[in-house]
A and B are shown apart, each in its own frame.
Chain A
Amino acid sequence: MTSDTQSSLARFWDSDIMWSFRHSPVAIVAGLVVALIALAALFAPWIAPTNPYDPAALNLMDGFTPPMEPNAFTGNSYILGTDNQGRDVLSTILYGTRISLFVGLSAVLFAMVLGITLGLIAGYRGGWVDGLLMRIADVQLSFPSILIALLIFGVARGLIPPAYRETMAIWVLIVAIGLSDWVQFARVVRGATMVEKSKEYVQAARVVGAHPVKILIKHILPNVMGPVLVIGTIGLALAIIAEATLSFLGVGVPPTQPSLGTLIRIGQQYLFSGEWWILLFPSIALLALALSVNLLGDWLRDALNPRLR
């Protein structure tokens, strides 16, 4: 009876998934990178040398300072240099990663909740409900998701009064990315639900007259979460990139709260005039974050697939 005496933490450490994690160097490195970036982003106000959101602390004369070199006018030196407005690049990256991660996580969470709910309903009810939901999903899948996000973002901006646009922008962005991403969750959950609902444990619950919502949440949901976690992790990387793409195109977060995508957009304007650091460092941060999250997703997919053990 080892399982009874061990604490739940020790049981988690001994579980198959943690065993697989400890034996995958790629997963460990990717996990460390993600953890490092996430912690740095979370504690940005304490770590960052300057506050790039505070206009009073900015000095336009500091603009275009190259990394590790003193500014020609002010003599100030920055590890990763400054951008066109004189904002410290390291600080903007830390704050930008914060926004990128927040938007990415919220969008995936939104897509996950929506996709799981619709997938469960489609798979369990079947019939015309299933047909309708899956046709909507098919139509949406036939457009590139960034196009859908652009469309939703544009429509939402048109509907929101100008006074609120700045403050609502980040939430609109989350909804736009989330709505463009729910289909994958819905499809996977629908398929898994159709398999689970025919199993006898679901029939046993139906024999005693358990409510369908209760059957879906307590019986079927825990059994379909494995593949959902995998898509969720890979979806997080995609959502971060989608946010960066939208911000790069200038339709994302407001310029006063730059995300990694906004920084890259600002940087690319100065690339050919020689100020390479404004583009390079935010790009490296985005690459490291997206790649690590993606590698974690790949590892999770393999770890949860019993056929690959």
Chain B
Amino acid sequence: MSEPLVQVEGLTRRFDISKPWLNRVIERESRQFLTANADVGFSINRGETFALVGESGSGKSTIAKMIVGLLAPSAGSIRFDGQEMDFASGADMRALRRRFQMIFQDPFASLNPRWRVRDIVAEPIVTFGLLKGAEITREVDRLLEVVGLSAADAAKFPHEFSGGQRQRIAIARALSSKPEFIVCDEPTSALDVSVQAQILNLMRDLQDEFGLTYLLISHDLSVVRHMATRIGVLYLGRLVEVADAKRLFTEPQHPYTRMLLDAVPDLALSGRRRKPVLGEIPNPIDPPSGCAFHPRCPLAADICKRETPAPRPTPTGQAACHFAGQNSEVA
């Protein structure tokens, strides 16, 4: 197997949520940190769609932001095509930056309302200095047609478009620097259900056409099922399970994954009882000891409160559970 395109190791991000210095001194409080991601490791292979799923507050978007350099990791490394991503070094990163892009959640916020579509789509081309003059116009027109809009739309402003069309513009912008890897942060969650499928299908077509690799961030299991080749499940900033997409839905290895899948409405009306998700995500400022999932876990034992489980290999991938590999029989 060839080397993975993106390799993430021990990625950790802590946010300082302490009160101001004077308050801390007067109220005799220590500094407080929120751990958004702890020791996250995964790799994404060329041409695949790796999906990260989890409830809100599980740190999905934080990982996406760290990978594209919008947030600096507190610890850990991100390697792109074997090269360490060091966003502090300008010159080396420029060449690397061209090779990845991001598609954002809210197409109403991700396009500058004062810019014409032509300038929005051309921004990466201009920033990287890829083309000059009339070539830029020609390339923008071509890209707009690639994403299902017309070249005449280039002269318009974003407010003249619907949510789905705006997301197409955002995709055209992401494609304009000819990237290999695109981070998609909830690309359809702000769209109508009827439009979601169009955008997802467009993304798949583009993946086939240009050989793109996607990191798909989503809380919507049906979106993930439609798109992903492999899936990582996040819980409280920790990666609890990574598995082959098809088998994750049929053979969940981690008790949290199973809980999530049981909560999905049964649209096929097969008579399966839907089990509501028990409890809520604990406060990430003060996470539970040992395995972060133990207060909600039906399998929890003493060891879960004491020791943080390391990822173990399972038939479908890996899972961070003390009972991984054996619990399929237990439950």
Q: Given A203-B70, A203-B104, does the pair A208, B97 have CB atoms closer than 8 Å?
A: yes
A147 to chain B, nearest CB (A): 30
Which of B38-46, B120-128, B208-216, B272-280 participates in binding chain A?
A: B120-128
Q: Which A residues lie within 8 Å of B173 (CB)?
A: 204
Is B311 positioned at the interface, with any CB of A under 8 Å from its CB?
Answer: no
Residue of A nearest to B110 (CB): A200
Q: Given A4-B155, A208-B97, does the pair A201, B70 have CB atoms closer than 8 Å?
A: no
Report A4-44 residues with CB < 8 Å from chain B CB. 4
Residue in contact with B101 in the complex, picked from A3, A207, A223, CB distance below 8 Å: A207
Is B68 positioned at the interface, with any CB of A under 8 Å from its CB?
Answer: yes
Q: Which A residues lie within 8 Å of B68 (CB)?
A: 207
Is B113 positioned at the interface, with any CB of A under 8 Å from its CB?
Answer: yes
Q: Which B residues lie within 8 Å of A207 (CB)?
A: 68-70, 97, 100-102
Q: Is the CB of B112 within 8 A of A223?
A: yes
B299 to chain A, nearest CB (A): 40
Residue of B nearest to A223 (CB): B114
Q: Which B residues lie within 8 Å of A206 (CB)?
A: 69-70
Q: Which A residues lie within 8 Å of B113 (CB)?
A: 223
A194-212 vs B, CB cutoff 8 Å, 1 = contact: the mask equals 0000011101111111100
Q: Is the CB of B155 within 8 A of A201?
A: no
Q: Given A199-B109, A204-B173, A207-B101, does the pair A1, B152 have CB atoms closer than 8 Å?
A: yes
Q: Given A4-B155, A219-B112, does the pair A205, B104 have CB atoms closer than 8 Å?
A: no
Distance, CA A1 to CA B65, complexed state (A): 38
Q: Is the CB of B114 within 8 A of A209?
A: no
Q: Is the CB of B128 within 8 A of A208?
A: yes
Q: Is the CB of B102 within 8 A of A209?
A: no
B256 to chain A, nearest CB (A): 30
Distance, CA A3 to CA B156, complexed state (A): 8
Q: Is the CB of B102 within 8 A of A201?
A: no
Is A127 positioned at the interface, with any CB of B under 8 Å from its CB?
Answer: no
Q: Which A residues lie within 8 Å of B106 (CB)?
A: 200
Q: Given A3-B156, A4-B155, A207-B102, does the pair A201, B127 have CB atoms closer than 8 Å?
A: no
Residue in contact with A209 in the complex, picked from B65, B97, B120, B155, CB distance below 8 Å: B97
Q: Is the CB of B104 within 8 A of A204?
A: yes
Is B24 positioned at the interface, with any CB of A under 8 Å from its CB?
Answer: no
Q: Is the CB of B127 within 8 A of A208?
A: yes
Distance, CA A203 to CA B106, complexed state (A): 12
Distance, CA A200 to CA B112, complexed state (A): 9
Residue in contact with A210 in the complex, picked from B65, B98, B123, CB distance below 8 Å: B123
Is A222 positioned at the interface, with any CB of B under 8 Å from its CB?
Answer: yes
Residue of B nearest to A204 (CB): B110
Q: Is the CB of A208 within 8 A of B177?
A: yes
Q: Is the CB of B97 within 8 A of A200?
A: no
Q: Which A residues lie within 8 Å of B156 (CB)?
A: 3
Q: Is the CB of A201 within 8 A of B111?
A: yes
Is B105 positioned at the interface, with any CB of A under 8 Å from its CB?
Answer: yes
Q: Is the CB of A201 within 8 A of B112?
A: yes
Distance, CA A127 to CA B118, complexed state (A): 35
Residue of B nearest to A220 (CB): B112
Residue in contact with A204 in the complex, picked from B69, B102, B128, CB distance below 8 Å: B102
Q: Which B residues lie within 8 Å of A199 (CB)?
A: 109-110
B251 to chain A, nearest CB (A): 36
Is B94 positioned at the interface, with any CB of A under 8 Å from its CB?
Answer: yes
Q: Which A residues lie within 8 Å of B170 (CB)?
A: 204
Q: Which A residues lie within 8 Å of B101 (CB)?
A: 207-208
Distance, CA A5 to CA B16, complexed state (A): 54
B90-108 vs A, CB cutoff 8 Å, 1 = contact: the mask equals 1001100110111011100
Distance, CA A207 to CA B113, complexed state (A): 18
Distance, CA A8 to CA B281, complexed state (A): 54
Q: Given A200-B110, A201-B112, A204-B110, does the pair A209, B127 have CB atoms closer than 8 Å?
A: yes
Q: Given A200-B109, A201-B112, does the pair A209, B104 have CB atoms closer than 8 Å?
A: no
A202 to chain B, nearest CB (A): 8
Q: Which A residues lie within 8 Å of B100 (CB)?
A: 207
Residue of A nearest to B102 (CB): A207
B72 to chain A, nearest CB (A): 12
Residue in contact with A200 in the complex, picked from B104, B128, B152, B155, CB distance below 8 Å: B104
Distance, CA A208 to CA B177, complexed state (A): 9
A76-89 vs B, CB cutoff 8 Å, 1 = contact: the mask equals 00000000000000
List 3 A-B pairs, minimum CB-CB distance, nearest first.
A200-B110, A200-B104, A222-B114
A-B contact pairs, 25 of them (CB 8 A): A1-B152, A4-B152, A200-B105, A200-B109, A200-B110, A201-B110, A203-B102, A204-B123, A204-B173, A206-B70, A207-B68, A207-B70, A207-B101, A208-B97, A208-B123, A208-B124, A208-B128, A209-B90, A209-B93, A209-B94, A209-B97, A210-B123, A210-B127, A219-B112, A223-B113
Given A4-B152, A208-B97, A209-B90: 20 more A-B contacts, CB < 8 Å: A200-B106, A200-B109, A201-B109, A201-B112, A203-B102, A204-B102, A204-B104, A204-B173, A205-B127, A207-B69, A207-B100, A208-B101, A208-B123, A208-B124, A209-B94, A209-B97, A210-B123, A210-B127, A223-B112, A223-B113
Binding site for A on B (CB under 8 A): 65, 68-70, 90, 93-94, 97-98, 100-102, 104-106, 109-114, 120, 123-124, 127-128, 152, 155-156, 170, 173, 177
Binding site for B on A (CB under 8 A): 1, 3-4, 199-201, 203-210, 219, 222-223
